[in-house]
């Protein structure tokens, strides 16, 4: 029997047991000794661990440039899907026993131009390449959705430099008819075929369906987390919420689910901070993620009630159907119930209008727009977004950022100025 | 270049001027045009419906050459458009915000915009028009190569799936055009336009092949730019066919003359990879030509013709299906020549017997520029050919430092000369 | 004086901060070097440094048969007989100083260049800092100015640091702000300085990789005097970096060698 | 009982203190180098101002810090950013002012505000120092012109040189190449000033222009900059007097202290 004073150990073990009961997965595991070792965090946290301890563990994992969870998985013979932002149907890889890793959420990796890139490029493309180039992270399969012009260059650059396979995923931009859904199902089938090739496993309907159920649960827990943040933003700062969400990019969804299940009740009991802060929606973080220091700087003057941080992990807004062909179900969900980001054309809705709705829905006072440097799709929408907000009487503030920045004085200056002018300067006299 | 292709240059100027004048006239009469981009312009389909075609990219580069771009960029930036976005887009938006009025012409408003996924910025750009004019926007999914090592070919099941999706979208676009114009598609008109493009593309291809041999007949950046302008603005027209057949004839004459009267010093044959530097268009080319360099080939011709210079032949007997297949194949060729440039340059430089390769990355265009530095490394790992990497912009004069540029170009030619003197190692 | 044989040739390198000159004798031996601040009048600086070079060894101007200019101001040197880019000159000079050189890193006030060279000193490939890359000597002068410290003391102070800060800004001018921010956060000066050195070294590494660096690596230009930069580069590269007394003069030396080539070519042509 | 408030501006180079009373009357000001210990500089500077005003620290109902090291002033009741402070300062000096443009050595900041000095929009140069004072300083240095001679030189220019790249780092190659084309120095200097003013205007236009614009910042030591701005703008331009030029943010901070008191947490 396992020592049950270790929460992490428990859910690690349960995860492993879940895997072991699935005969298809057994080959991933070598000796039974691994049963008694914590698999992911590389450390144990007692079951009466405080929320702060859990957050600290998440922070450690996210800031560990050695990718301990991924390394450990690979050492045990597991295969890893590395994928680029924003959305990739991780279910397909997960069903084949792969650990899906969303690249570009961590702080590691060099964002310098390096030898392989020119100067006018966003950090996230450079960082993802440098992770592999420096040998920090070598996924067994690399998938890039065709989200932007810079990212679309990555597969060729990747294949010239590394032997591990890579593939572009052409997600449709013209999701207006049945044709797009049929096409996407084919595209997913192509992706599944590559996954099978890499893992040596044929994907059956049942296993994909099981994975969809796990991810449905994950998405529902994340929705709960965000609902709590919107309801009681004093209980959960934006940087903390980011930590809890972002570790999902490095864990199996089962394990991320366990973490969220532990954390949500603790958050409900947490004392809410009572401070003079403005309620804002944070947007512009759909691909490149602002560094933690920047989120902390924002949290010092703002209660973030809604955001698009790691929107790809929450891309599908409802449950994916567990009936019928699972790839068709995933394709249907993509075409009919997606979130919005500037890399996805939507014939029915425009980002600027959606943002205004979002502000109203969450009772926010203002919007902080983080604009990633050199990000074409994000920056192209800046003017329409600000115009729509201004028209709706919603104040907004734009801060440029890049993942590798280490100095947040300018961000702080802007957000503080923005917030103090909404909070104080107007009313009293 | 001893015998420049003057006639083609003059005829191109005339043709593009008349294209602008027709659009200007249309604007004065409150008429509208379809806005489309050079990669996947659907020119033949629009021609079949007699919808006038406006190509904002060509208009933008014209403003850069004329110097009008700087004011447009400034205007857009003052409205909040950031400095780091595509400057084609930014100058175009600046123009729209100033009432589609340029010093020398006016432009018609859009009745329809077509944005293919050949470049994702096309979509963001067209979305801005949509907010300004609320016209229909057709976003055309053209799936590219998934795996750089194994592009799918006609006959593959994967290709069939893409083609089915393409054909369906073409049918949807046809219905949209029928809605806008109130007329049915005339398949004969489409066939005729496709036939014209067939002849233009085939000739263009022959012209490019001429330059692979010595002596070269034209500068692929200077004259190449003229060829491209006509190819895009006159795709699917008899005027385009005539232009290209004249241009080929001129090049054949130049070739004969060059063989009879060879140049005193053979030029350094250069392969150009990337985008031209339009704000200093002539000065940029002169920085090379005065040092004895001649661009014999350019990747720009491949993608900026939307893959058209490969000379794909449409089957005019089944115009709609063939249009869809041609659009898929040519646009994919255009995309491959950008995204997979690094895998193709080794063959390209060998084919044109280049003495050196010049990479010009620009801030505006990440589609083309992102892969250039790595493409250069890849080329260097396979060949000892000298290369030069420059970075500037295709629109924004503020991003170009001619003194820095000339210094690097001078050093490059010092290397080329040293090699010629000592014999290439 | 007798140690050197005429005819003499010279190279003058007009850089953004300093102007350097090298005198060569018939056997390509370095007969003298000189250095002064460039100031605003490029031609005057070139004349002054050339004068200094001549007086240093007691020569008359007409005894120097050929002068080559290099650097940004090369076309402004009115007494120059030929002009060569500093890229070719640094390559040539570095190979002359260290014949096993295959890669040159030249770090000056405005530019940083990585150059891959052939055994004969010919340039195979080069790469320079782009707009807005902070990897130049200017970054260090900015740091020195902000911290109110003489430029030549930076290396010694930085060498005592153990916990360098990270400096990530890409704009050299903004680097000052970032350095100030670290001061405000209470970081030790030596840690900040080491951070500045590391920022530049890692950017240089990117340039070196871009040309496909091969050993041996020779470090030239004004910053090659900075021992901390040398140490940082060696640590990043995992190999020795060749520097010496003459490496700051490599550009002028290369120019002088080109002048000597030209002179010898003319002499050969004159004697059938 | 009269209320007094102090504003402390902990800038990158200098720390400035202003003490005013409830009517906005200036009682004292002092200035000293910030150095490496901003908190101590602020304490010394405040002590000096209190002495000049004949007050004790306990007499102050509010101490408001601002500037780059605002969070380091341990005696502060509240910190506000220099943008907010400069806005209040400008409004106190010029009651009809609607926007502020701060032309600094490394930053350009523009604010538009309402009659309560509430900032409606602001913008600053985020990613590079193009077109800031440091470009002008470099240009002057390359041409061997003392900073105090810049205006006199620029005034002689008839045909300002078009200078398109105002990156401070690449100033050398651009300016030297202009000199090489025999462009007269006065035209280069004037061209550089025009380019910098254009860059500032671009940032200013992004926040939207108001009737009355207050200029602050180190670049104003070149009188030509203000003249060029006036030529290009239809609105009224105001410049604080020489004695107040450096104290606008400190004054605004003190004003915020009077208006809002010191008991708000921040």
Tell me: the pLDDT tens digits for B5-62? 889 999 999 999 999 999 999 999 999 999 999 999 999 999 999 999 999 999 999 9
Do the chains contact at D119 and A417, CB–CB below 8 Å? yes
Given a contact cutoff of 8 angstroms between Cβ atoms, the answer to whether B271 and B357 are in contact is yes
Q: pLDDT > 70: what percent of chain B? A: 99
- Substitution target from D135, D169, D180, D196 for chain C, most C beta carbons within 10 A: D169
Residue D78 falls inside a structural domain: yes
CA A372 – CA A342 distance, rounded (Å)? 12
B191: Cβ contacts below 8 Å, ≥ 6 apart:
B316, B317, B319
Which pLDDT band, with edges at 50, 70 and 90, does C150 fall under? Answer: confident
Helices (H), B134-186: 157-181
pLDDT digits (tens, 9 = 90+) for B62-109: 999 999 999 999 899 888 899 899 999 999 999 999 999 999 899 999
Q: Which of C131, C181, C202 comes nearest A112 by C-beta? A: C202
Which pLDDT band, with edges at 50, 70 and 90, does C86 fall under? Answer: very high
- CA C108 from chain centre, in angstroms, equals 5
- Substitution target from B283, B398, B399, B408 for chain D, most D beta carbons within 10 A: B398
Q: Residues of A with CB below 8 A from D119's CB?
A: 417-418, 421, 425
CA D13 – CA C180 distance, rounded (Å)? 10
Do the chains contact at D169 and C40, CB–CB below 8 Å? no
| Count of other CB atoms within 10 angstroms of residue C22 | 29
Which pLDDT band, with edges at 50, 70 and 90, does C130 fall under? Answer: low
Do the chains contact at B389 and C88, CB–CB below 8 Å? no
**What confidence score (pLDDT) does residue A39 get?**
41
**What confidence score (pLDDT) does residue D124 get?**
86
Which pLDDT band, with edges at 50, 70 and 90, does A41 fall under? Answer: low
Which is it for the CA torsion D52, D57, D62, D66, positive or negative? positive
* pLDDT reading at B375 higher than 50: yes
- SS3 annotation, B44-57: HHHHHCCCCEECHH
CA A247 – CA A249 distance, rounded (Å)? 5
CA A257 – CA A211 distance, rounded (Å)? 13
**What confidence score (pLDDT) does residue D265 get?**
42
Q: Which two tokens stand for residue B193?
A: 């336009």
Helices (H), A43-88: 51-63, 68-75
User: How many helices (H) and strands (E) would you count in chain C?
Assistant: 8, 10
Q: Which two tokens stand for residue B400?
A: 């170009």
Residue D159 falls inside a structural domain: yes
What are the residue boundaries of the structural domains of chain B, listed by start?
6-422
| Distance of residue D160 Cα from the nearest chain A Cα, in angstroms | 31
CA D154 – CA D140 distance, rounded (Å)? 11
Together in a domain, D218 and D124? yes
Residue D128 contacts C where some CB pair is shorter than 8 Å = yes
CA D249 – CA B354 distance, rounded (Å)? 62
Upstream peptide bond of A185 is cis (omega within 30 degrees of 0): no
Judged by phi (left if over 0) then psi (alpha if -120 to 50, else beta), residue D52 lies in alpha
The CATH number covering residue D232 comes to: 3.30.420.40
Q: Which residue of chain D has the CA closest to A372? A: D127
CA D62 – CA D78 distance, rounded (Å)? 8
Together in a domain, D223 and D121? yes
Do the chains contact at D83 and A417, CB–CB below 8 Å? yes
The domain in which residue D48 lies consists of 4-95+244-260
CA B364 – CA B90 distance, rounded (Å)? 10
Q: Which two tokens stand for residue A308?
A: 């698009």
Residue D113 falls inside a structural domain: yes
Do the chains contact at D126 and A400, CB–CB below 8 Å? yes
**What confidence score (pLDDT) does residue B307 get?**
94
Low-confidence winner among A9-13, A86-90, A338-342 (lowest mean pLDDT): A9-13
CA A110 – CA B33 distance, rounded (Å)? 47
Given a contact cutoff of 8 angstroms between Cβ atoms, the answer to whether B408 and B388 are in contact is yes
Do the chains contact at C132 and D106, CB–CB below 8 Å? no
Upstream peptide bond of C7 is cis (omega within 30 degrees of 0): yes
Q: Which of D68, D81, D259 comes nearest A417 by C-beta? A: D81
CA D168 – CA D108 distance, rounded (Å)? 14
Residue D143 contacts C where some CB pair is shorter than 8 Å = yes
Do the chains contact at C42 and D176, CB–CB below 8 Å? yes
Strand C30-37: give its sheet, edge to edge.
C30-37, C18-24, C8-14, C64-71, C82-83
* pLDDT reading at A246 higher than 70: yes
Task: For residue C5, give Cα distances in angstroms to C8, C10, C27, C29, C55.
Answer: 8, 14, 7, 9, 17
**What is the DSSP secondary structure assignment for residue A316, as one 8-state letter?**
B
Q: Looking at the DSSP assignment, which residues form a beta bridge with residue D112?
A: D99, D121
- Substitution target from D119, D205, D255 for chain A, most A beta carbons within 10 A: D119
Burial class (CB in 10 A: 0-12, 13-18, 19+), D113: buried
Which pLDDT band, with edges at 50, 70 and 90, does A46 fall under? Answer: low
Do the chains contact at B80 and D173, CB–CB below 8 Å? no
* pLDDT reading at C118 higher than 60: yes
Given a contact cutoff of 8 angstroms between Cβ atoms, the answer to whether C256 and C9 are in contact is yes
Q: Residues of B with CB below 8 A from D164's CB?
A: 397-398, 400
**What is the DSSP secondary structure assignment for residue A315, as one 8-state letter?**
-
**What confidence score (pLDDT) does residue B132 get?**
95
Q: Residues of B with CB below 8 A from A119's CB?
A: 363, 391
Helices (H), B261-371: 281-289, 299-304, 319-339, 341-351, 366-369
Do the chains contact at D259 and A429, CB–CB below 8 Å? yes
Do the chains contact at C39 and D179, CB–CB below 8 Å? no
Together in a domain, D21 and D128? no
The beta strand positions in A75-165, using DSSP E, are 80-83, 99-102, 141-145
Residue D94 contacts A where some CB pair is shorter than 8 Å = no
**What confidence score (pLDDT) does residue D142 get?**
78
Q: Residues of B with CB below 8 A from D161's CB?
A: none
* pLDDT reading at A108 higher than 50: yes
* 3-state DSSP assignment of residue B318: coil
Q: Which two tokens stand for residue D112?
A: 């538009």
CA contacts within 13 A on the Cβ side of D30: 17
Average pLDDT along chain B: 94
Do the chains contact at A421 and D84, CB–CB below 8 Å? yes
Do the chains contact at B158 and A125, CB–CB below 8 Å? no
Q: Which long-range contacts (CB under 8 A, 24 or more apart) does A38-42 make?
A: A38/A6, A38/A8, A38/A9, A38/A12, A39/A12, A39/A15, A39/A69, A39/A72, A39/A73, A39/A76, A40/A8, A40/A12, A40/A68, A40/A69, A40/A72, A40/A251, A40/A252, A40/A255, A41/A8, A41/A68, A41/A69, A42/A68, A42/A69, A42/A72
Token look-up 């419906």 returns: B49
Section B356-360 average pLDDT: 96
Strand bridging mode A302-307 / C241-242: unpaired
- Substitution target from C41, C129, C171, C176 for chain D, most D beta carbons within 10 A: C171
Helices (H), D54-184: 82-93, 133-142, 150-155, 171-180
Tell me which H or E stretch contains B387: strand B387-392
Section A81-109 average pLDDT: 91
More confident residue, C149 or B28: B28
**What confidence score (pLDDT) does residue C144 get?**
83
Q: Which long-range contacts (CB under 8 A, 24 or more apart) does A361-364 make?
A: A361/A306, A362/A230, A362/A279, A362/A281, A362/A305, A362/A306, A363/A279, A363/A305, A364/A279, A364/A280, A364/A281, A364/A305, A364/A306, A364/A394
Which pLDDT band, with edges at 50, 70 and 90, does C135 fall under? Answer: low
pLDDT digits (tens, 9 = 90+) for B150-203: 877 888 888 999 999 999 999 999 999 999 999 999 999 999 999 999 999 999
* pLDDT reading at A425 higher than 60: no
Strand A80-83: give its sheet, edge to edge.
A99-102, A80-83, A141-145, A166-169
List, run by run, the mean pLDDT of 10-residue segments along chain D (266 residues): 88 90 93 87 96 94 92 92 94 94 87 91 78 82 86 92 70 72 87 89 85 89 92 91 89 93 56
| Distance of residue D195 Cα from the nearest chain B Cα, in angstroms | 10
Residue D166 contacts B where some CB pair is shorter than 8 Å = yes
| Distance of residue B75 Cα from the nearest chain D Cα, in angstroms | 9
Residue D265 falls inside a structural domain: no
Q: Residues of B with CB below 8 A from D127's CB?
A: 83
A343: Cβ contacts below 8 Å, ≥ 6 apart:
A86, A147, A148, A286, A287, A377, B120
Q: Phi and psi of B247, rounded to 5°?
A: -65, -40
Residue D199 falls inside a structural domain: yes
Q: Which of A93-97, C261-265, D188-192 has the highest average model confidence (pLDDT)?
A: A93-97
**What confidence score (pLDDT) does residue D166 get?**
65
pLDDT digits (tens, 9 = 90+) for A348-407: 888 999 999 999 999 999 999 999 989 999 999 999 999 999 999 999 999 989 888 877
Which pLDDT band, with edges at 50, 70 and 90, does B236 fall under? Answer: very high
D167: Cβ contacts below 8 Å, ≥ 6 apart:
C131, C132, D128, D129, D130, D135
What are the residue boundaries of the structural domains of chain A, listed by start?
278-314+351-429
| Distance of residue B79 Cα from the nearest chain A Cα, in angstroms | 8
CA B418 – CA C123 distance, rounded (Å)? 9
Low-confidence winner among A233-237, B107-111, C105-109 (lowest mean pLDDT): C105-109
Chains that touch D (3 or more CB pairs under 8 A): A, B, C
pLDDT digits (tens, 9 = 90+) for A267-318: 999 988 777 899 999 999 999 999 999 999 999 999 999 999 999 999 999 9
CA A321 – CA D110 distance, rounded (Å)? 52
| Distance of residue D59 Cα from the nearest chain B Cα, in angstroms | 46
**What confidence score (pLDDT) does residue C2 get?**
54
* pLDDT reading at A231 higher than 80: yes
pLDDT digits (tens, 9 = 90+) for A158-169: 999 999 999 999
Q: Looking at the DSSP assignment, which residues form a beta bridge with residue D236?
A: D212
Q: Measuring CA to CA, which residue among B126, B146, B144 is closest to residue B134?
A: B126
CA D203 – CA B79 distance, rounded (Å)? 10
Token look-up 């595991």 returns: A29
CA B334 – CA A59 distance, rounded (Å)? 44
Together in a domain, D104 and D69? no
Strand B293-298: give its sheet, edge to edge.
B293-298, B268-274, B356-362, B387-392
Section C96-103 average pLDDT: 96
User: How many distinct structural domains can be found in chain D?
Assistant: 2
Do the chains contact at D206 and B80, CB–CB below 8 Å? yes
More confident residue, A200 or B262: A200
Together in a domain, D110 and D232? yes
| Distance of residue C183 Cα from the nearest chain A Cα, in angstroms | 12
Which pLDDT band, with edges at 50, 70 and 90, does A38 fall under? Answer: very low
CA D24 – CA D94 distance, rounded (Å)? 13
Which pLDDT band, with edges at 50, 70 and 90, does A112 fall under? Answer: low
Do the chains contact at C130 and B391, CB–CB below 8 Å? yes
Residue A414 contacts D where some CB pair is shorter than 8 Å = yes
Chains that touch A (3 or more CB pairs under 8 A): B, C, D
Class of domain A278-314+351-429: alpha beta
B contact set with C (CB within 8 A)? 373, 377, 380-381, 384, 386-387, 389, 391, 399, 401, 403-404, 407-408, 410-411, 414-415, 418-419, 422, 425
């Amino acid at each position: 029997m396992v020592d049950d004073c270790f929460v992490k150990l428990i859910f690690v073990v349960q995860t492993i047991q879940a895997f072991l009961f699935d005969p298809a997965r057994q080959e991933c595991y070598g000796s039974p000794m691994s049963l008694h070792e914590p698999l992911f965090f590389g450390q144990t946290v007692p079951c009466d661990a405080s929320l702060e301890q859990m957050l600290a563990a998440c922070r450690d994992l996210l800031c560990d440039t050695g990718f301990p969870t991924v390394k450990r998985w690979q050492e045990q013979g597991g295969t890893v899907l590395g994928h680029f932002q924003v959305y990739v149907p991780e279910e397909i890889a997960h069903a084949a026993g792969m650990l899906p890793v969303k690249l570009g959420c961590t702080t590691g990796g060099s964002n310098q131009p390096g030898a392989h890139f020119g100067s006018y490029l966003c950090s996230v493309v450079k960082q993802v390449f440098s992770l592999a180039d420096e040998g920090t992270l070598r996924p067994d399969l690399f998938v890039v959705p065709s989200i932007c012009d810079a990212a679309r260059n990555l597969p060729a650059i990747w294949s010239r430099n590394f032997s591990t396979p890579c593939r572009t995923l052409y997600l449709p931009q013209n999701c207006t008819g049945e044709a797009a859904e049929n096409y996407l199902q084919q595209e997913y089938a192509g992706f599944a075929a590559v996954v099978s090739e890499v893992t040596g496993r044929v994907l059956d309907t049942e296993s994909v369906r099981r994975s969809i159920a796990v991810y449905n649960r994950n998405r529902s827990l994340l929705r709960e987390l965000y609902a709590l943040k919107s309801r009681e933003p004093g209980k959960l700062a934006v940087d903390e919420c980011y930590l809890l969400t972002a570790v999902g990019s490095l864990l199996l969804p089962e394990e991320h689910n366990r973490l969220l299940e532990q954390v949500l009740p603790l958050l409900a009991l947490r004392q809410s901070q009572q401070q003079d802060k403005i309620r804002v929606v944070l947007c512009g973080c759909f691909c490149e993620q602002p560094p933690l220091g920047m989120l902390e700087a924002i949290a010092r003057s703002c209660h973030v009630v809604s955001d698009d941080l790691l929107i790809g992990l929450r891309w599908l807004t409802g449950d994916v159907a567990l009936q019928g062909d699972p790839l068709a179900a995933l394709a249907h969900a993509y075409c009919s119930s997606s979130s919005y980001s500037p890399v996805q054309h939507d014939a029915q809705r425009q980002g600027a209008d959606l943002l205004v709705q979002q502000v109203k829905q969450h009772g926010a006072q203002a919007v902080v727009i983080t604009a990633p440097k050199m990000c074409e799709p994000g920056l192209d929408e800046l003017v329409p977004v600000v115009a729509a907000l201004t028209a709706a009487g919603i104040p907004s503030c734009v801060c440029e950022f890049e993942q590798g920045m280490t100095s947040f004085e300018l961000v702080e200056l802007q957000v503080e100025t923005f917030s103090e002018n909404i909070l104080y300067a107007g009313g009293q006299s | 270049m001893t015998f420049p292709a003057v006639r083609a240059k003059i005829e191109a100027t005339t043709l593009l001027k008349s294209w602008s004048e027709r659009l200007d006239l249309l604007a004065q009469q409150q008429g509208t045009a379809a806005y489309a981009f050079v990669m996947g312009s659907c020119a033949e389909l629009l021609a079949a419906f007699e919808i006038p075609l406006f190509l904002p990219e060509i208009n933008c580069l014209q403003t850069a050459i004329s110097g009008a771009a700087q004011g447009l960029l400034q205007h857009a930036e003052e409205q909040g458009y950031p400095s780091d976005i595509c400057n084609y887009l930014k100058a175009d938006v600046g123009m729209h915000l100033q009432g589609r009025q340029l010093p020398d012409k006016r432009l018609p408003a859009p009745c329809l915009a077509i944005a293919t996924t050949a470049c994702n910025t096309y979509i963001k750009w067209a979305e801005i028009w949509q907010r300004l004019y609320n016209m229909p926007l057709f976003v055309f999914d053209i799936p590219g190569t998934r795996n750089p090592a194994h592009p799918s070919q006609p006959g593959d099941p994967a290709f069939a799936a893409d083609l089915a999706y393409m054909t369906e979208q073409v049918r949807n676009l046809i219905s949209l055009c029928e809605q806008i114009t109130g007329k049915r598609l005339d398949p004969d008109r489409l066939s005729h336009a496709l036939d014209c493009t067939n002849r233009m593309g085939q000739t263009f291809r022959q012209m490019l092949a001429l330059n692979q041999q010595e002596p070269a007949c034209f500068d692929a950046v200077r004259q190449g730019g003229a060829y491209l302008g006509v190819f895009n603005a006159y795709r699917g027209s008899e005027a385009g066919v005539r232009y290209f057949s004249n241009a080929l004839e001129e090049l054949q004459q130049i070739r004969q003359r060059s063989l009879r009267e060879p140049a005193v010093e053979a030029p350094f044959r250069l392969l150009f990879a990337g985008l031209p530097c339009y704000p200093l268009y002539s000065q940029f080319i002169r920085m090379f030509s005065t040092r004895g360099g001649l661009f014999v080939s350019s990747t720009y011709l491949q993608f900026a013709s939307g893959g058209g210079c490969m000379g794909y032949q449409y089957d005019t007997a089944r115009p709609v299906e063939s249009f869809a297949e041609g659009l898929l194949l040519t646009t994919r060729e255009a995309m491959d020549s950008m995204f997979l440039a690094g895998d193709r340059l080794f063959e390209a430089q060998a084919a044109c017997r280049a003495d050196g390769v010049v990479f010009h990355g620009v801030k505006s265009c990440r589609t083309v520029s992102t892969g250039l530095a790595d493409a250069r490394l890849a080329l260097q790992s396979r060949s000892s050919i000298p290369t030069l990497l420059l970075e500037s912009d295709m629109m924004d004069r503020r991003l170009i430092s001619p003194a820095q540029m000339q210094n690097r170009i001078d050093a490059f030619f010092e290397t080329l000369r040293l090699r010629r003197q000592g014999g290439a190692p | 004086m007798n140690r050197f044989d005429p005819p003499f040739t010279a190279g003058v390198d007009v850089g953004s901060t300093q102007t350097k000159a090298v005198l060569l004798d018939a056997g390509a031996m370095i007969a003298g070097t000189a250095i002064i601040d460039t100031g605003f009048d490029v031609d005057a600086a070139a004349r002054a440094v050339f004068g200094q070079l001549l007086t240093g060894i007691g020569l008359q101007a007409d005894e120097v048969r050929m002068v080559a200019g290099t650097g940004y101001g090369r076309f402004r040197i009115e007494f120059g007989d030929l002009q060569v880019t500093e890229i070719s000159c640094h390559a040539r000079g570095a190979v002359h100083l260290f014949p096993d050189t295959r890669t040159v890193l030249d770090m000056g006030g405005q530019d940083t260049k990585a150059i891959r060279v052939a055994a004969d000193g010919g340039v195979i490939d080069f790469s320079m800092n782009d707009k807005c890359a902070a990897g130049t000597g200017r970054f260090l002068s900015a740091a020195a100015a902000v911290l109110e410290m003489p430029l030549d003391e930076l290396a010694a102070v930085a060498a005592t640091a153990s916990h360098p800060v990270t400096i990530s800004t890409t704009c050299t001018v903004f680097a000052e702000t970032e350095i100030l921010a670290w001061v405000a956060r209470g970081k030790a000066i030596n840690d900040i300085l080491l951070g500045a050195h590391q920022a530049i070294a890692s950017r240089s590494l990117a340039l070196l990789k871009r040309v496909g660096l091969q050993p041996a690596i020779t470090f030239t230009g004004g910053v090659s005097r900075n021992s901390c930069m040398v140490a940082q580069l060696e640590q990043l590269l995992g190999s020795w970096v060749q520097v010496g007394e003459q490496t700051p003069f490599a550009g002028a030396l290369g120019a002088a060698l080109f002048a000597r080539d030209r002179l010898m070519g003319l002499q050969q042509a004159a004697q059938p | 009982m009269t209320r007094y408030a102090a504003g402390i501006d902990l800038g990158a180079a200098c720390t400035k203190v202003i003490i005013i009373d409830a009517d906005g009357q200036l009682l004292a000001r002092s200035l000293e180098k910030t150095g490496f210990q901003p908190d101590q500089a602020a304490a010394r500077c405040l002590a000096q101002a209190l002495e000049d005003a004949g007050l004790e620290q306990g007499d102050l109902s509010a101490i408001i810090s601002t500037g780059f090291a605002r969070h380091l002033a341990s005696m502060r009741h509240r910190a506000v950013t220099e943008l907010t402070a400069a806005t209040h300062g400008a409004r106190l000096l010029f009651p009809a002012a609607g926007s502020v443009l701060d032309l600094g050595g490394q930053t350009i900041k523009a604010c538009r505000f309402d009659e309560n000095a509430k900032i409606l929009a602001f913008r600053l140069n985020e990613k590079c120092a193009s077109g800031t004072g440091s470009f002008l300083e470099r240009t002057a240095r390359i041409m061997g012109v003392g900073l105090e001679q810049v205006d006199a030189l620029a005034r002689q220019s008839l045909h300002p040189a078009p200078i398109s790249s105002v990156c401070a780092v690449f100033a050398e190659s651009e300016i030297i190449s202009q000199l090489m084309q025999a462009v007269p120095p006065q035209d280069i200097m004037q061209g550089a000033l025009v380019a910098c003013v254009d860059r500032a205007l671009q940032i200013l236009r992004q926040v939207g222009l108001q009737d009355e614009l207050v200029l602050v910042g180190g670049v104003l030591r070149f009188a030509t900059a203000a003249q060029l701005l006036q030529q290009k703008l239809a609105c009224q331009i105001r410049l604080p007097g020489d004695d107040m030029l450096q104290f606008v943010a400190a004054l605004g901070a003190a004003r915020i202290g009077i208006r809002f008191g010191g008991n708000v947490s921040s």
